[in-house]
A and B are shown apart, each in its own frame.
Chain A
Amino acid sequence: MKKNSLDFWVGLFVVTGFVALLFLGLKAGNMSSFSFAKNYSVTAKFDNIGGLKPRAPVKSAGVVVGRVAAIQFDDKTYQATVTLHLEENFHFPKDSSAKILTSGLLGEQYIGLEAGGNDQMLAQGSKITQTQSAIVLESLISQFLYNKAADAGKEKD
């Protein structure tokens, strides 16, 4: 009956659509860098997160080891609390430090994790205490100008 052959073509059409979507997701998009591996959460507090966004990568030695899950504001310490999801098979000592770095000169910002020397490792819910905030360009420039002005002042004396 005609009905069976129609079903086949419709099914083929839908499958083609899915394949196209899969292609877009995997080859064109960044889905392959989604880590479906289990992860554990740690938090870190920063004075200034700059342009850090959720889903930004957490890298150590340049390799992605996790993602920024959430960014919240703590109005008791007036700092930003960043929640990181780190992959389960990567262990970092408790005294590791987290810095907010920029990829390239003006690229997107990510968290760089540097391992410390402690025997104990970070676990679910741990807090990273050593943090370095993002470098804000305007502060740098004003600092530079201030220093320049101070040097010029010293020379005059």
Chain B
Amino acid sequence: MNVLVDRITRLGGFVRLNIAGIGHATAMFITVIRRSIGLLKRFRLVSDQVFFLGNYSFVIIAVSGLFVGFVLGLQGYYTLNRYGSEQALGLLVALSLTRELGPVVTALLFAGRAGTSLTAEIGLMKAGEQLSAMEMMAVDPVARVIAPRFWAGVIAMPILAAIFSAVGIVGGYLVGVPLIGVDSGAFWSQMQGGVDVLKDVGNGVIKSVVFGIAVTFIALYQGYESKPTPEGVSLATTRTVVISSLAVLALDFLLTAVMFST
């Protein structure tokens, strides 16, 4: 009996701790937004970070997009062919990419590549007392270090997702038309007829912005709150990947339900 009570107490404590954690994270989020006003005058800080987050991720995103496009082309063809609808391959590839795969896969890759590097960087800065030193020099580390990286992530994500989708469509085309022999005209015209710029491409962009906000903030928060030890930083990077990935998938479900319900 005591074991049961003990377990429930611990569960309650665990839940309470996590809810408090979410509250703390929300407060931090609002702080980052509020302290971002000064960045309008010092935009270089943001653009430098866009380089580290965006340009450095470009290759992995583009290559992944190409291969996902290849696979979509192949798998799509095999399935559509059974119903005699292989002409719709272009439409299938484009819709899959712009609506779902582009934003989601890009977000997951971004969390792994850029998210972990952000967490490690901030965590190590904290461990080396760099953030403390900045505070003592009357420079707010949230405004100077965290906020530029946050906005850089929010800017870089939709760009990367668009590149992923575009390269993926090209990949699907390369597999579908020259390789398999689907009619080129049908490929593009069916796609153009079925992909709505506002509904499909636009919603995909909105999704990638939301994912950018989530992944970047989670990465920065984990780094900022990490324990200043090697184990602490390592744990924080793992948590970044896990929490970001789950958040992206959960948000994707929510957004899809809202956006694509007719």
Contact B166 A25, beta carbon cutoff 8 Å: no
Q: Across the two chains, which residue of chain A brings its CB closest to B194?
A: A30
Contact B165 A29, beta carbon cutoff 8 Å: no
Minimum CB–CB distance for B76 against chain A, Å: 15
Q: What separation, in Å, do the CA atoms of A18 and B169 have in the docked complex?
A: 16
Give chain B's interface secondary structure class.
helix
Check: A76 CB closer than 8 A to any chain B CB: no
Contact A28 B192, beta carbon cutoff 8 Å: yes
Contact B192 A32, beta carbon cutoff 8 Å: yes
Check: A38 CB closer than 8 A to any chain B CB: no
Q: A13-B159, A28-B94, A29-B201 are in contact. Are A20 and B55 (CB under 8 A)?
A: no
Contact B201 A6, beta carbon cutoff 8 Å: no
Contact A24 B48, beta carbon cutoff 8 Å: no
Q: A20-B166, A24-B98, A24-B169 are in contact. Are A29 and B196 (CB under 8 A)?
A: yes
Q: Across the two chains, which residue of chain B brings its CB closest to A8?
A: B51
Check: A156 CB closer than 8 A to any chain B CB: no
Check: A136 CB closer than 8 A to any chain B CB: no
Q: Across the two chains, which residue of chain A brings its CB closest to B169?
A: A28
Complex partner residue of A28 from B54, B58, B158, B191, CB under 8 angstroms: B191
Check: B197 CB closer than 8 A to any chain A CB: yes
Q: What separation, in Å, do the CA atoms of A10 and B158 have in the docked complex?
A: 14
Interface membership of chain A positions 2-34, coded 1 if the CB is closer than 8 angstroms to chain B and 0 otherwise: 010011011001101111110111011111111
Check: B47 CB closer than 8 A to any chain A CB: yes
Check: B29 CB closer than 8 A to any chain A CB: no
Q: Which residues of the other chain, B, contact A31 by a CB distance below 8 angstroms?
A: 197
Complex partner residue of B162 from A10, A21, A30, A33, CB under 8 angstroms: A21
Q: What separation, in Å, do the CA atoms of A14 and B162 have in the docked complex?
A: 11
Contact B188 A27, beta carbon cutoff 8 Å: yes
Q: What separation, in Å, do the CA atoms of A73 and B226 have in the docked complex?
A: 58
Give chain A's interface secondary structure class.
helix
Complex partner residue of A6 from B51, B162, B163, B205, CB under 8 angstroms: B51
Contact B51 A9, beta carbon cutoff 8 Å: yes
Contact A30 B197, beta carbon cutoff 8 Å: yes
Q: Which of A19, A25, A33, A34 has the most CB of B within 10 A?
A: A25
Check: B50 CB closer than 8 A to any chain A CB: yes
Q: Across the two chains, which residue of chain B brings its CB closest to A23?
A: B166
Q: What separation, in Å, do the CA atoms of A130 and B162 have in the docked complex?
A: 46
Q: Across the two chains, which residue of chain A brings its CB closest to B262?
A: A53
Minimum CB–CB distance for B75 against chain A, Å: 19
Interface residue ranges of B86-127 to A (CB < 8 Å): 94, 98
Q: What separation, in Å, do the CA atoms of A28 and B245 have in the docked complex?
A: 28
Minimum CB–CB distance for A34 against chain B, Å: 8
Contact A24 B201, beta carbon cutoff 8 Å: yes
Q: Which residues of the other chain, B, contact A7 by a CB distance below 8 angstroms?
A: 44, 47
Check: B178 CB closer than 8 A to any chain A CB: no
Q: A10-B47, A13-B58 are in contact. Are A30 and B192 (CB under 8 A)?
A: yes
Complex partner residue of B205 from A21, A27, A33, CB under 8 angstroms: A21
Interface residue ranges of B197-212 to A (CB < 8 Å): 197, 200-201, 205
Contact A3 B51, beta carbon cutoff 8 Å: no
Q: A9-B55, A10-B55 are in contact. Are A24 and B166 (CB under 8 A)?
A: yes
Minimum CB–CB distance for A44 against chain B, Å: 24
Interface residues of A (CB under 8 A from B): 3, 6-7, 9-10, 13-14, 16-21, 23-25, 27-34
9 residue pairs from A and B, CB less than 8 Å apart: A10-B48, A14-B50, A14-B159, A16-B163, A17-B158, A20-B163, A24-B166, A25-B201, A28-B166
13 additional A-B residue pairs with CB within 8 Å, beyond A28-B169, A32-B192? A3-B44, A6-B51, A10-B47, A10-B50, A13-B51, A13-B156, A19-B166, A20-B159, A24-B166, A24-B169, A28-B195, A29-B197, A29-B201
Closest 7 CB pairs of A and B: A17-B159, A20-B166, A29-B197, A20-B162, A31-B197, A29-B195, A20-B163
